[in-house]
C-alpha cells in the first residue's frame, strides 16, 4: 500500500497565502478561551482550565497555531491531537507524581551557566528561546517554556557560547528551548555561525516541533542556512500519524533532500498514541520520508501530566508487540528519563532465558530457541592500533568533570 499524506483542512475564511506563511500562523496563534472557541466546541471540562489560568499562574501556558488546531477534532474532547493541545481539567487533579523540573535541569551540576544543560560528557543542550508556537500539555520543560522570553538575552547568549568554547571536550551542541525554529532566520544563522566558529563542535542538533505545528516554517531560506552549518541533525517531534500532513511531509523532505538528516523523537501518551497500530503507522510514514524514528520516550512526570502518561508496563508491551514486525529502521528506542536528572535509561525486549559465563539462551520474538556460546576467553586481544584513538577518548570522557 502506498503511503499518502493529506493536506491540512484550512478554514475557508483564511487565504492560502496567509495559511502558508509561518509568521501569519504565529501572529494568529490561539491563546484565549475565545480564540480556541473559533476552532473547538469547548466542553465544560476544558473551559474550566481557561478560567483557572486567568487567575493562577500555575497552569501551563496555552497556545497553538491555527494550522495545528485544524488537525484536531472540533467536537470530540478525547481526540488524540486535541488531547495534546487543548487543556483539560484533569491537568488540575491531584497527581501521583508532579515535578516542576523532572529532568533536574535546574540542578547546578547539570546547569553550569544559564541556558546550558550539561549532563552527558560530550554534548550539551543550549536553550536559545523559551517560546514555542504550541504549548503541548505534556511538556517536560514547563519550568522554562512559556515565559515568553523570545531570543535569549545577549549576556546569557555570550556566556553560553563562552562555556561551549572553553569546554574543549564537547563534541555536540543540541539547540533546544522552547522551540529554536520560532526565532528568526537571522538569529538562527548567527547562532549556527558562532557555533561553527568553535573548532571542537562537530555536530549540531536542532530539536524542534515546528515541522509538526507550523511546517510552513521550513522555507528554502531556512534550509539554506541550516545546510551551510553542516553537519546539522534536525530532530522533529511527531507523535501521531495524523500530524504527517502533506505540508509536514514536504517540510521533512525539504530537509532530507538538502542533506540534513531528520530524526524523530516521539513521546508515548495516554489516549494519543499508546497502541502499537498507531506507533507503526507513525514510524512507517516517517521512514518513508527518510526521517528515522529515534526515540519513543516515556512521558516525564511533569506537573499536570498524570492523565497523559502511560504506565511503563504499557510502553514495554507496545515495544514488544512491534519488535520483529516493524523494520529496525522504523523502530524507535524506548527510553525513560530517570526523574531528577538521572539521565536516560533504555529498554529492549528481553528474550534471554538463562545465562552463564559459557553461554546464553534465548527464545526469539517468534519462538525460536537457541544458545549463543562465548568464544574461548584466551583468544581475546585488544585491537593493535587502539592507542591511536586513546587521547580522543580520554578528552571526551573528561569533558564533564
Ligand atoms: C537526552 C539528552 C541529550 C541527548 O541524548 P542522546 O541520547 O544523545 O540523544 C543530551 N543532553 C541532555 C541533557 C539530554 O536530556
Ligand atoms: S514544543 Fe516541546 S518544549 Fe514546546 S511545549 Fe511542546 S513539548 Fe514543550
pLDDT digits (tens, 9 = 90+) for 329-369: 999 999 999 998 889 999 999 999 999 999 999 999 999 99
Whether pLDDT at 263 is above 70: yes
- At 92 the pLDDT is 87
Among the bound ligands, the one closest to the CA of 126:
1
List the catalytic residues.
Answer: 119-120, 123, 132, 136, 139, 141, 300, 337, 344
Whether pLDDT at 100 is above 90: no
- At 401 the pLDDT is 59
Segment 19-31, tens digit of pLDDT: 999 999 999 999 9
Segment 190-205, tens digit of pLDDT: 999 999 999 999 999 9
What number is the average pLDDT over the span 209-214?
98
Cβ-count burial 249-266 (b if 16+ within 10 Å, e if not):
bbbbbbbeeeebbbbbbb
* CB-based contact 170:141 (threshold 8 Å): no
Q: How far is the CA of 132 from the centre of ligand 2 (A)?
A: 6
Q: How far is the CA of 216 from the centre of ligand 2 (A)?
A: 18
| Structural domains of the chain ordered from first start | 16-92 (no CATH), 116-347 (3.20.20.70), 350-401 (no CATH)
* Cell numbers at 50, concatenated: 481557561
- At 250 the pLDDT is 98
Which protein residues are within 6 Å of ligand 1, measured from CB? 103, 117, 119-120, 123, 125, 174, 344
What number is the average pLDDT over the span 51-78?
88
Percent of the chain with pLDDT over 90: 81
Give how far Cα 220 sits from Cα of 16, 138, 246, 253, Å: 18, 31, 17, 12
What number is the average pLDDT over the span 253-273?
98
Whether pLDDT at 124 is above 80: yes
Percent of the chain with pLDDT over 70: 97
* Cell numbers at 326, concatenated: 516493524
Q: How far is the CA of 324 from the centre of ligand 2 (A)?
A: 31
- At 106 the pLDDT is 79
Q: Among 135, 143, 243, which is best to mutate for testing ligand 2, by the most ligand atoms less than 8 A from CB? A: 135
What is the atom index within ligand 1 of the atom nearest the CA of 335? 7
Which protein residues are within 6 Å of ligand 2, measured from CB? 132, 134-136, 139, 141, 145, 179, 209
What is the atom index within ligand 2 of the atom nearest the CA of 142? 8
User: Mean pLDDT for the chain?
Assistant: 93
Q: How far is the CA of 135 from the centre of ligand 2 (A)?
A: 6
Q: How far is the CA of 145 from the centre of ligand 2 (A)?
A: 7
- At 4 the pLDDT is 92
- At 348 the pLDDT is 94
Whether pLDDT at 277 is above 90: yes
Among the bound ligands, the one closest to the CA of 181:
2
- At 150 the pLDDT is 78
Tell which residue, 307, 296, 363, has the closest CA to residue 46: 307
Q: Strand 172-176's sheet: what is its strand order?
A: 116-120, 123-127, 172-176, 203-207, 232-236, 262-268, 291-298, 333-338, 343-347
- At 140 the pLDDT is 87
What number is the average pLDDT over the span 313-342?
95
Nearest protein CA to atom 3 of ligand 2, as residue: 178
Amino acid at each position: 500500500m502506498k503511503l499518502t499524506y493529506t493536506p491540512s483542512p484550512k478554514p475557508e475564511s483564511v487565504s492560502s497565502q496567509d495559511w502558508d506563511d509561518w509568521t501569519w500562523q504565529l501572529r494568529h496563534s490561539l491563546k484565549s478561551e475565545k480564540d480556541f472557541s473559533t476552532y473547538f466546541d469547548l466542553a465544560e471540562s476544558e473551559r474550566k482550565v481557561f478560567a483557572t489560568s486567568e487567575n493562577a499562574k500555575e497552569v501551563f501556558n496555552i497556545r497553538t497555531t491555527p494550522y495545528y488546531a485544524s488537525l484536531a477534532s472540533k467536537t470530540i474532547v478525547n481526540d488524540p491531537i486535541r488531547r495534546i493541545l487543548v487543556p483539560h481539567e484533569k491537568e488540575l487533579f491531584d497527581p501521583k507524581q508532579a515535578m516542576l523540573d523532572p529532568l533536574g535541569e535546574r540542578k547546578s551540576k547539570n546547569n553550569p551557566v544559564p541556558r546550558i544543560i550539561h549532563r552527558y560528557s560530550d554534548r550539551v543542550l543550549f536553550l536559545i528561546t523559551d517560546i514555542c508556537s504550541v504549548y503541548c500539555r505534556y511538556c517536560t520543560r514547563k519550568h522554562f517554556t512559556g515565559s515568553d522570553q523570545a531570543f535569549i538575552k545577549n549576556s546569557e547568549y555570550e556566556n553560553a557560547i563562552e562555556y561551549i568554547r572553553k569546554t574543549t571536550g564537547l563534541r555536540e551542541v543540541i539547540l533546544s528551548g522552547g522551540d529554536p525554529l520560532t526565532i528568526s532566520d537571522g538569529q538562527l544563522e548567527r547562532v549556527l555561525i558562532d557555533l561553527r566558529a568553535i573548532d571542537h563542535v562537530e555536530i549540531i542538533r536542532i530539536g524542534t516541533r515546528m515541522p509538526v505545528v507550523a511546517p510552513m516554517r521550513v522555507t528554502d531560506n531556512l534550509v539554506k542556512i541550516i545546510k551551510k552549518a553542516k553537519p546539522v541533525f534536525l530532530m522533529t517531534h511527531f507523535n501521531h500519524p495524523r500530524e504527517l500532513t502533506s505540508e509536514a511531509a514536504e517540510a521533512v523532505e525539504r530537509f532530507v533532500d538538502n542533506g540534513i538528516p531528520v530524526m524523530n523523537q516521539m513521546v508515548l501518551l495516554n489516549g494519543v498514541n499508546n497502541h502499537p497500530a498507531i506507533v507503526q503507522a507513525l514510524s512507517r510514514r516517517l521512514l518513508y520520508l527518510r526521517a528515522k524514528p529515534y526515540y519513543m520516550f516515556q512521558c516525564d512526570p511533569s506537573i499536570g501530566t498524570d492523565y497523559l502518561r502511560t504506565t511503563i508496563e504499557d510502553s514495554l508491551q507496545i515495544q514488544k508487540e512491534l519488535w520483529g514486525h516493524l523494520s529496525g529502521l522504523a523502530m524507535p528506542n524506548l527510553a525513560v528519563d530517570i526523574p531528577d536528572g538521572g539521565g536516560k535509561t533504555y529498554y529492549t525486549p528481553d528474550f534471554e532465558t538463562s545465562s552463564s559465563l559459557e553461554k546464553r539462551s534465548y527464545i526469539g520474538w517468534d519462538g525460536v530457541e537457541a544458545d549463543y556460546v562465548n568464544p574461548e576467553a584466551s583468544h581475546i586481544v585488544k585491537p593493535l592500533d587502539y592507542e591511536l584513538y586513546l587521547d580522543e577518548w580520554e578528552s571526551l570522557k573528561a569533558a564533564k568533570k
